[in-house]
């Protein structure tokens, strides 16, 4: 299994694949993933230039462990097949399909990846896929999209295009995105996949940004698409377990193991009732803390 399928992706930062000032060293900000964009950040008459710049960035820059996702143009455009060839030739880590509407879209991308992998001698399975859902149809088909391919690690809501399709707009209240967020996280979890929230474009409203990140964390999301380095610290703070949470999770894991051996099913930890149902959540907190580099215990 490709270990990247389940890697930590709290922050996934977009940047224009054509802009040298952005692609040369984004790893200094330490996002979990960068998303080199060939789609909407690149003007229609600059697609070739962006692919050329992307290829050289992938080949020559050491991104120091930051995941290199490339957002390709949608399947309704003339660009996506050539985008995939460049992604594979440059050996990116993952491909983000924009405007995904169905399982067939994912399978079409995978088939095109296979062709390019044969052409460039790249092992099938080494490059993963994620799907951006940007329309009502895409959101309605979230489960079939999430289960379309074993190479697909998750889906992401793309709120700008989605709200256009819904015939509303981003209001800042979250009301217009509520249904999509809820149905996507349920679909992704039912499929055993990760789920990511859409960008927050008002760079000066850090309080609003924090509130949104806190809300999507509570809903169960794994992370958020972001557009600027100043959004990274808050995202990581919210998505990294606190010391208090880690200590409690450790106690739960150890106590459940200990009590199970003694034949005890229900007991208390720090005044809270605990039984086996709390075990997976506590384990997940420890795994998240390990992946985020903040775990110092012995589990």
Ligand X SMILES: CC(=O)SCCNC(=O)CCNC(=O)[C@H](O)C(C)(C)COP(=O)(O)OP(=O)(O)OC[C@H]1O[C@@H](n2cnc3c(N)ncnc32)[C@H](O)[C@@H]1OP(=O)(O)O
Pairing of strands 223-226, 267-269: unpaired
HEC assignment per residue over 29-50:
HCCCEEEEECCCCCCHHHHHHH
Distance CA 182, CA 184 (A): 6
Please identify, using beta-carbon distances, which residue of 174 and 229 lies nearer to ligand X: 229
- Establish whether 71 is an annotated binding residue: yes
Find out whether 31 and 9 touch, Cβ atoms under 8 Å: no
| Positions 230 through 289 that interact with ligand OAA (CB under 6 A) | none
Q: Interface with ligand X includes 26 (CB under 6 A)?
A: yes
Distance CA 151, CA 252 (A): 33
- Establish whether 85 is an annotated binding residue: no
- Establish whether 67 is an annotated binding residue: no
**Residue 46 CB burial class (10 angstroms; 0-12, 13-18, ≥19):** middle
- Inter-helix orientation angle 206-219/232-239, to 10°: 30
Give the x-and-dash track for 215-234 against ligand X (CB under 6 A).
------------xxxx----
Please identify, using beta-carbon distances, which residue of 176 and 245 lies nearer to Mg ion: 176
Helices of type H across 40-157: 47-60, 80-90, 103-120, 136-140, 142-146
Distance CA 164, CA 135 (A): 8
Q: How far is the CB of 295 from ligand X (least distance, A)?
A: 28
- According to DSSP, the residues that pair with 272 across neighbouring strands are 269
Answer with the entry of ligand OAA, Mg ion, ligand X, none that 15 interacts with (C-beta below 5 to 8 A by kind): ligand X
Q: From 69-77, 159-167, 168-176, 241-249, give the range in contact with Mg ion by CB under 5 A.
A: 159-167
Please identify, using beta-carbon distances, which residue of 45 and 268 lies nearer to ligand X: 45
Q: How far is the CB of 39 from Mg ion (least distance, A)?
A: 7
Q: How far is the CB of 19 from ligand OAA (least distance, A)?
A: 17
Answer with the entry of ligand X, ligand OAA, Mg ion, none that 198 interacts with (C-beta below 5 to 8 A by kind): ligand OAA
Using the rule CB under 5 A, which residue among 33, 73, 141, 158 binds Mg ion?
A: 158
Q: What is the CA radius of gyration of the chain?
A: 20
Annotated binding-site members for substrate: 71, 134
As annotated, the binding site includes: 71, 134, 161
- The footprint of ligand OAA (CB under 6 A) covers 40, 132, 134, 156, 158-161, 198-199, 225
Site residues (vs Mg ion, CB under 5 A): 134, 158, 161
């Amino acid at each position: 299994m490709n270990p990247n399928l389940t890697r930590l992706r709290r922050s996934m930062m977009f940047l224009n694949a054509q802009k040298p000032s952005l692609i040369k060293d984004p790893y200094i900000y330490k996002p979990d993933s960068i998303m080199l964009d060939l789609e909407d950040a690149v003007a229609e008459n600059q697609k070739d230039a962006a692919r050329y710049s992307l290829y050289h960035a992938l080949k020559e820059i050491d991104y120091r462990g930051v995941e290199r996702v490339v957002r390709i143009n949608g399947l309704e455009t003339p660009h996506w097949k050539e985008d995939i060839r460049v992604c594979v030739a440059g050996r990116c880590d993952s491909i983000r399909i924009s405007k995904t509407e169905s399982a067939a879209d994912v399978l079409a991308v995978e088939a095109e990846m296979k062709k390019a992998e044969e052409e460039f001698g790249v092992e099938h399975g080494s490059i993963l896929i994620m799907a951006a859902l940007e329309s009502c149809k895409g959101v309605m088909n979230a489960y079939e999209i999430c289960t379309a391919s074993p190479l697909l690690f998750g889906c992401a809501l793309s709120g700008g295009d989605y709200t256009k399709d819904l015939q509303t707009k981003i209001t800042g209240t979250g009301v217009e995105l509520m249904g999509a967020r809820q149905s996507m996280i349920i679909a992704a979890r039912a499929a055993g996949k990760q789920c990511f929230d859409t960008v927050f474009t008002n760079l000066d409203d850090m309080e609003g940004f924090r509130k949104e990140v806190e809300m999507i964390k509570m809903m169960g999301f794994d992370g958020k698409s972001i557009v600027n380095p100043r959004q990274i610290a808050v995202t990581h703070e919210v998505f990294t377990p606190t010391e208090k949470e880690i200590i409690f999770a450790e106690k739960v894991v150890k106590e459940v193991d200990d009590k199970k051996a003694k034949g005890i099913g229900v007991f208390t930890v720090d005044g809270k009732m605990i039984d086996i149902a709390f075990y997976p959540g506590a384990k997940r907190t420890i795994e998240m803390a390990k992946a985020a580099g903040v775990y110092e215990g012995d589990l």
